[in-house]
Amino acid sequence: MVIALSQDDEEKISIDEDIIKDLIDLRGYLERRIRDLEEETRKLKEMFKIVDEVILTKSFKKAEMIPVTVSESPRTTEVSEEIPLKTATGTLLATMYVGEEEARIVPTKDLTFTINTPPFQTFFITRILEPMKAKDSEDSQRGIILPNQIFSYETIVEGEVIKEFIIKNFQTRKRLREIISSARWTFDKMYEKIRTSDNTPQ
């Protein structure tokens, strides 16, 4: 049986086919755009990571360039050196008391540094101190140093506020200098976080 279509029906079918074709083309375009945007997002994340690493590295190197006054005289069991940790503008952030095998960092009383203020955990602990501890643990297993000579640290807190930071068995003056430089940079960045937080509109 042959069904005859009116002119209106034929025009309607033709329009529907055009719409479907346009929708198929649109779907293809959207698929391409999604792939392009996903690829662009991936590259942007990679670039962001690189930039973030460079900023951290450059900032740390800048901190290392600040002169560190450490006496080369033989260590004693008592505190032999007091090293102020200051900002570039001279604000005293903390004082480091160095003895023979132990050093203590005592924050300035009117400043509140917490263990959760970046980059205390992410940089000072994770990237600087933990690798030192891991190396000494490995050296101890290999018989290079005794177990009681392994590098260690302890944070004395009141709630989350850092009252004192104790470092034991830093072993060498080179390592001590790295700790001093890293501590100065860390407390400086924590101070910036505190100032930003204090200036945030309520």
Domain ranges of the chain: 7-65, 81-198
User: Which contiguous run of DSSP H or E holds residue 103?
Assistant: strand 102-107
At 146 the pLDDT is 92
* Confidence tier at 28 by pLDDT (50, 70, 90): confident
At 176 the pLDDT is 92
Ranking 32-36, 154-158, 181-185 by mean pLDDT, the lowest is: 32-36
Look-up of token digits 């959760």:
116
Q: What is the mean pLDDT of residues 171-179?
A: 91
Q: What is the mean pLDDT of residues 74-100?
A: 82
Give the long-range contacts of residues 68-74, CB within 8 A, separation 24 or more: 68/177, 68/180, 68/181, 68/184, 70/98, 70/173, 70/176, 70/177, 70/180, 72/173
- Report the predicted TM-score, pTM, of the whole model to 2 decimal places: 0.60
At 191 the pLDDT is 95
Q: Is the per-residue pLDDT at 1 higher than 80? A: no
Q: What is the mean pLDDT of residues 162-174?
A: 93
